[in-house]
Structure 1
Amino acid sequence: MLLSYHGWMFEPHGKRSLKTKVWAGCMTVMARRQPMLYSFQMSLPRLPVPRLEDTIDRYLQSVESLLDEEKFSRMKELSEDFQKNLGCKLQKYLHLKSWWATNYVSDWWEEYIYLRGRGPIMVNSNYYAMDFITVNPTTIQAARAGNAIHAMLMYRRKLERGLIPPVMALGIVPMCSYQMERMFNTTRIPGVETDHLQHLVESRHVCVYHKGRYYRLCLYDDRTLLSPRQLQTQIQCILDDPSPPQPGEEKLAALTAGERVPWARARAQFFTNGVNRVSLSSIERGVFFVCLDTEEGGYQESDKNSLSVYSKSLLHGNCYNRWFDKSFTLVVYKNGRLGLNAEHSWADAPVVGHLWEVLSDFMTGYFIKVA
């Protein structure tokens, strides 16, 4: 009942009614204990189905400024016809689905907004997260990468055990945590008509890209997670490796940057058997993807364009040095700067923002010891 109250969303900032103050006090008392990640999931209210009339009114308000008078008049006629005929039938189906689904729109949104899109997901769908702007704990690329990978795996361990507290709006309102389940071990698999998400229960390696070459980096010694120093040593071996890429290896990730149908057909034709299948499986079944860039990144006070260059590098790189289908790609620059490129269908940006925020707190002051 407490979580069903939404009046606080519509009150002016800094001005709370007595009802909202009483509600906030009750919520504070209820959330005072230390909740686990999914503690509130069964208590979250179902997403309500809006009235058909309200939906149509909001739609007309949103398109009124985009259409001239004649087109808007035509749109009103179509809306009225939809409301009287097909809309009523669809509204009944929507109510029926809302009885058994906690969120009647999430699966449709995931499929029709993201997975059925046949255009490139690079730039159009994927997004990025930046490192600290003015703070750089170390300039040693291997050290920063080793620490970041280790910190993310520690985060994954807590995530799997539900030890991470749920994200709370206003510090007292729990948000849904289901999107966080697919943060790791997840890949978007291309299809001719629609893509699908492959999520693994367990993964014990990451795929690393450097100078056009792909490496499978194991993260555990038996059941023990490698330390940051051990990961740094492994990554330094990759950085020092002078071997050239194999034919066709360097620009393989460009397939994930382009149209989805050609990528799906190429995958079915060339990656269903032999070494290609094994290699692609190593990439797609990794915890996440790591790019060790050969150029420096980050913001430079002396260069006004450096922030734009940094953003574009994280958003699309050179179009073949990011695996855009992975849940996220960790980018580590030559000067130790970090960034993320995230695929959008498995979760919205706040989920990755929570990962980045927690890691920033966890890793600050932690790099210096390793470097």
Structure 2
Amino acid sequence: MATAKTEKTFQFEEDLPSLPVPSLEDSLQNYLDSVKVVVTPGEYEKTRRIVKEFEVNIGPKLHAELTKRAEKSKNWLEEWWEKFAYLQSREPVAVLNGATAMDGVNMSMWPPRDGTQLKRASQAIWVASKYFLKLRREEDSVDRAPNGNPISMHQLRSLFCSCREPGVDCDKMRRYFKTESEGPCPNHVIVLCNGHIFRLEVFNEKEELYGSNEILRQLVDIKRRCSPWQGQCIGVLTAAKRDQWGKAYNHMCSLSNQNADHFEVIRSAMFAVALDDETPRSHIQGMLAGVGGSNVQDRWYDKSYVQIIFESGVFIYTSDHTAFDGLAAFKLAIHNQGEYNVANMRCMGNEEIHESRDMPEELIFQTDDKVEEYKRLAVESYMEHSSTIDMVGSHIDCDRKWVKSKGFSPDAFMQMAIQLSYYTKYGRPGTCYETGATVMFYHGRTDTIRTCTEEMIDWCKAMLDKTKSRGEKIESMKAAHSKHHEITLQAISGGAFDRYLLGLYIISQEMGYDVPEIFLDETYTKSGGGGNFVLSTSQLGRFYQLGAVAPMVKNGYGVFYNLLAERYFATVISYKTCPETDSMEFFDQIRHSLMVMIQLLREGPAKL
């Protein structure tokens, strides 16, 4: 095996084990165990009957076909997941399905400050482009599992030069990235400003990265050219429902070959940059403006990575979730923070300015009245959704090391606080999705950790029961923690059941069967199946890398958290249109739950 000094970023991918196919019997039993806590005894008995019939009738046939598929592919889920979880949906990527995030540079070095937009943009472009070069040369370190084995780095291939292509019935995913050993790949950037779209060159013909001063010179020119009037605002089309955007795209390509060429320039770009004239004064305001701000004309929601630098200097980014999950974002954030920590903030890279170079090219599209109508409908759809999002976030006093010293996983501790908060606020279990990374396997992405277990709810009930002693509450807490640990290991080891059930469903449709009753049963949806979890949660690492995605259901919450050394950071997102939910109230409840849990584990009686 190559040493750490010589190993290349993607060199171990082909050696990783195939994604396993879980056992039918175990998966169905685990499914039954997970739903029992969220249904009535009568509903559970009906579901148990349906599941047992599935297990002895059509289930084995579907499992056998899925096994055959897995024998021909190292990751039987990969193509299906991309299509059915993302590309086939006709809902907009904007607001509903895109992610908004922020690097730690905002916290440590870039507080809001007017007049810094272009300089910070030039530096952000330079830093991200340097990571692009690092991946091209396969110089980024390979992450490893606790046992020392390498994990999948494949998602990093979709961070740059990736984009959705709209379709009427289903989108396509376009990827242009190549390593240096695989050949050349695009290395330009797209800049959106006041409705205009520009192609920005940040490398010379030898693929040498220009310094941030030269990038700044070009951004100043772009800003000057955009100031007098608004551009064509083609970017608003990417905020439309996907079938409408697909129709608009096909129509525009039929109008002009140049339109098709311009779309290809945008799709193949390393990433997009939006120079936004909004002025958020905090990181949360910036993230909220990223997912639902007023300047929809300066977005390209189909791109895998879009930097947004506001007039106030706040820097966030958005991404289409199709391309990658948290791993790629974490790796980029680690690189970015490292560069900002050591770089000369006056100029990053070569200080040379190339005055003789041509200025960035603006992409001018041919349009007609039909395109204008598509744009109007896209804005209408966007405004309908963007006005519904509510987001709050802040630090919570919870010491990660202290939690571990008490024998609890910091992640499980937070998941327990989320569940306790929901149970306290609503008096019922909250079906919960937690991301479980399956990166130990070839091209691995994620599976579902269903954290709303019987043990978890028994503990929630004990915490609210004034007749329970401190010792009884702690014992129940340990049982809930142990169960969370068990199902987490199950998920990351390829043994979770949600993606597996999805596979059986897809196989049933490909074989021409009627939809199996297990998927029509109300319990399937009620327990979160089919993307209907009330709580959508994910750990975002142990440093400042904030992020959020809209809740899966209208009466749900998204809770995304960082486990920092001396305090946690939580972001809560919900829909303002639902009278049952309130982001601030739920955030405060999570904070209170953590305080109660900490107090319980300390010496002395717990005050509940």
Q: Relative to 1, partners in 2 of residues 1:200 and 1:368: Cα closer, same or farther, differing over 3 Å?
A: same
1:218 aligns with 2:201: yes
Residue number in structure 1 paired with 2:223: 239
- Report the equivalent of 1:125: 97
Secondary structure of residue in 1 paired with 2:317: strand
Does residue 166 in structure 1 map to residue 142 in structure 2? yes
- Give the aligned length: 333
1:136 equivalenced with 2:136 (yes/no): no
Counterpart position of 1:19: none
Report SS of the residue matched to 1:363.
Answer: helix
Change (3 A) 1:170 1:293: farther
State the match for 1:22 in structure 2. Answer: none
Structure 1 segments, 4+ long, off by >4 Å, are: 29-34
2:324 alignment partner, one of 347, 351, 357: 347
**Map of 1:315 onto structure 2:** 291
- Distance change in 2, residues 1:284/1:41 (3 Å): closer
Query: Is 2:276 aligned against 1:276?
Result: no
Contact 1:136 1:336 in 2 (8 A): no
Please tell me the residue identity of whatever aligns with 2:28.
Answer: I
**Is 1:141–1:334's contact at 8 Å kept on the other side of the alignment?**
yes
Superposed CA deviations along residues 96-153 of structure 1, whole A, max 9, x for unmatched, are: 2222322221221111111111111223221122133433358522222112212222
The question of 1:147 aligning with 2:123 is answered yes
2:26 to 42, 46, 54: 54
Is the CA contact 2:106–2:315 (under 8 Å) kept in the aligned structure 1?
no
Q: Say which SS state the counterpart of residue 120 (structure 1) adopts.
A: coil
Task: Please list every run of 5 or more consecutive structure 2 residues that lacks an aligned counterpart in the other structure.
Answer: 178-184, 349-608
Kept in 2, the 8 Å contact 1:179–1:346? The answer is yes
Paired residues of 1:141 and 1:332 also in contact (CA < 8 A):
yes
Asked which structure has the greater RCO (Cα within 8 Å, sep 6+), the reply is: 1
Give identity over the alignment, percent.
25
Structure 2: how far apart are the matches of 1:196 and 1:213? 25
Counterpart contact for 1:186–1:326, Cα < 8 Å:
yes
**What is the rounded CA distance, in whole Å, between the counterparts of 2:106 and 2:156 in structure 1?**
26
Are the counterparts in 1 of residues 211 and 347 from structure 2 also a CA contact under 8 Å?
no
Give the match's secondary structure for 1:134: helix
Q: 2: distance between equivalents of 1:116 and 1:294? A: 33
Q: How does 1:103-114 map to 2 (within 5 A)?
A: 103-114=75-86
TM-score (norm 2): 0.52
1:77 match: 49
Distance 2:263 2:13 in 1: 36
Q: Which residue of 2 aligns with 1:175?
A: 151
What 5-or-longer segments of structure 1 have no aligned partner? Answer: 1-28, 300-306
Once the two structures are TM-superposed, the CA of residue 263 in structure 1 deviates from its matched residue by 0.8
Normalization by structure 1: what TM-score? 0.82
1:267: which partner in 2? 249
What SS class does the counterpart of residue 107 from structure 2 fall into?
coil
What is the CA distance between 1:261 and its match in structure 2? 0.7
| Preserved contact between residue 34 and residue 165 of structure 1 (Cα < 8 Å) | no
User: Once superposed, what is the RMSD of the aligned Cα atoms?
Assistant: 2.4
Q: What's the CA shift for 1:88?
A: 0.5
Secondary structure of 1:127's counterpart equals strand
1:105 & 1:334 partners in 2: Cα distance?
A: 42
Q: Deviations over 1:26-54 (max 9, x none)?
A: xxx99755532123223322222211011
Q: Which whole-Å CA distance do the structure 2 matches of 1:51 and 1:256 have between them?
A: 41
Q: Secondary structure at the match of 2:68?
A: helix
Q: 1:173 to 1:31 in 2, by over 3 A?
A: farther
| Aligned with residue 187 of structure 2, among 204, 207, 211 | 204
AA matched with 1:116: Q
User: Does structure 2 retain, via aligned residues, the 8 Å contact 1:294–1:334?
Assistant: yes
Structure 1 residue 236 displacement after superposition: 1.1
Amino acid at match of 1:208: V
